[in-house]
Amino acid sequence: MSARAVPLLLALLCAAPRARAEDASALLKQGIEAFSLAEFERSRALLARAAAATQDRRLLAQIHLYRGLNDAATGAPAAARAAFTTALGLDPALSPDPAQVKRDLLELFASVRRSLQARLTLHAGDDAVRVLVDGTDRGELPLSLSLPVGKHRLELRSADGRRRQSLEVVLAPGQTLAQKAALRPVLGRLSIASTPSRAEVYVDGERAGRTPLAELELPAGPHALTIVLPGHAPHVGRVSVEPGRTASVRASLAPTAAGAPSLKPRRRVWTWVALAGALASLGTGIGLGVASNADFRSYQDRCGSSTFGLCGELRESVRSKDLVANTLFGVAGAFAVGSALLYYFEGRAEPPRDSTARVAPFAGGLGAALSGSF
């Protein structure tokens, strides 16, 4: 045999089972169609060929299921029960389609399932745990239950309801399955807001962050809640979190005596502006007054009482400087009076702005919120 023929032969050998499985699927489909058309003999022949073409347990379970349905439809209940038993042994979760099978055939199949029992043993250590099987309360663990083969939905709950476990088991005929409870906390959510915000939040003594906090996941049940902000009285209380729901807390933190806002004095900006104007006017007026006195002495020394020529100009300069100096003295006085008044009015404490309180609804209940300017 050539080297090239060996891989080809191996490929053909590996592909043969797959081809048979694919043929069995097609034959099964044809057998189901024949059954739906009430062609029972043809359906039996196709199902027999499909069974001979596969070793796949799930395909064989489907084949025996429809063999049993053919037998039940043609008045052979004993053969139907035998076929159903074989099908459930191969695939305990198997069920006929209620949309394609008559009710009496479904009831026969269900009776066969109920006759095939398995045992489920449940234990939960030291905790008190109750179990619901397919929605029915079966009592407190430990338990040993005899159940029909197939799928079963288990719901395990702690006595206080704060821890749960959900699982699905598939029981085969004659099987004994042991299952230990592994309950986990049931979670809810908590949203926290405060006025003022940015307060530290502690849940059960553990820091959870700063307000506002949204959708904080916690185990269901009561929790100790503390909200702290420097300069404000702390909020201390308890909050109950329900499974799968969101609880909301809105706290108003009142300022303490040490943290209460004080009245802030206004800045005396215009007071100092007026005082600076008074000093500038006074200084300039004094300077002009000194210059006027010097010019007057020079006029007396040079001119006596003459008003002609240079003497007249010198006398006018003295008069002008006196006028401006006196005017500046008056302006300085006005600025001084204004600065005194401004010192009084600008120094008064600024009153706090008004704040209003309102009640606003929020998710999970009704709470009080503060609005306004602070």
196-253 pLDDT, tens per residue? 999 999 999 899 899 998 888 888 888 999 999 999 999 999 998 888 888 889 999 9
Residues 43 and 54 in one domain: yes
> What is the identity of the amino acid at 271?
T
| Residue 234 sits in the same domain as residue 162 | no
Q: Which residue's entry shows tokens 């057998």? A: 31
Residues 178 and 232 in one domain: no
Supply the angle between the helices 77-90 and 103-115 in degrees, to the nearest 10. Answer: 60
> 147 with 174, same domain?
yes
* Cβ atoms of residues 285 and 323 within 8 Å: no
23 Cβ neighbours under 8 A, 6+ residues apart: 50, 53
Same domain, residue pair 222 and 305 = no
Answer yes or no: do 330 and 247 share one domain: no
Q: How sure is the predictor about 332, in pLDDT bands with cuts at 50, 70 and 90?
A: confident
Last residue of a domain, one of 90, 115, 140: 115
> How many structural domains does the chain have?
4
The enclosing domain of 167 has a CATH number of 2.60.40
pLDDT tens-place string over residues 142-178: 999 999 999 999 999 888 777 888 899 999 999 999 9
Asked if residue 279 and residue 246 are part of one domain, the reply reads: no
Q: Domain ends where: 202, 224, 252?
A: 252
Examine residue 368 and state whether it is found in any structural domain, yes or no: no
| 2, part of any domain | no
354 neighbors 372 (Cβ within 8 angstroms)? yes
Give pLDDT, residue 264.
53
Per-residue pLDDT band for 278 (boundaries 50, 70, 90) equals confident
Give the C-alpha separation, 78 to 87, whole Å.
14
94 and 42 share one domain: yes
Portion of the chain with pLDDT greater than 90, in percent = 45
pLDDT-derived band at 309, boundaries 50, 70, 90: low
H or E element that contains 324: helix 310-346
DSSP letter for 132, please: E
- pLDDT tens for 40-58 read 999 999 999 999 999 999 9
Asked whether residue 176 is domain-assigned, the answer is yes
- Residues 195 and 253 sit within 8 Å (Cβ to Cβ): yes
Q: What's the rounded mean pLDDT across residues 321-340?
A: 81
State pLDDT tens for residues 352-362.
443 333 333 33
- Give the pLDDT confidence of 114-153 residue by residue, as tens digits: 999 999 999 887 678 899 999 999 998 899 999 999 999 9
In a domain, 154, yes or no: yes
Tell me, yes or no, whether 330 lies in a domain: yes
Give the range of the structural domain holding residue 313, as residue numbers without chain letter.
Answer: 269-346
Q: Judge if 131 and 155 occupy the same domain.
A: yes
**pLDDT of 367:** 40
Beta strands 246-252; 187-195: pairing state: parallel
Q: Is the predicted pLDDT of residue 369 greater than 80, yes or no?
A: no
277 shares a domain with 316: yes
Q: Which of 217, 252, 287 is the last residue of a domain?
A: 252
Is 92 domain-assigned? yes
The enclosing domain of 64 has a CATH number of: 1.25.40
Tokens of residue 91, six digits = 């695939």
Both 124 and 197 in a single domain?
no
The verdict on 108 and 130 lying in the same domain is: no
257 domain-assigned: no
CATH number at residue 200: 2.60.40.1120
Contact 253, 233 (CB under 8 A): yes
Q: Is residue 32 part of a domain?
A: yes
pTM: 0.53
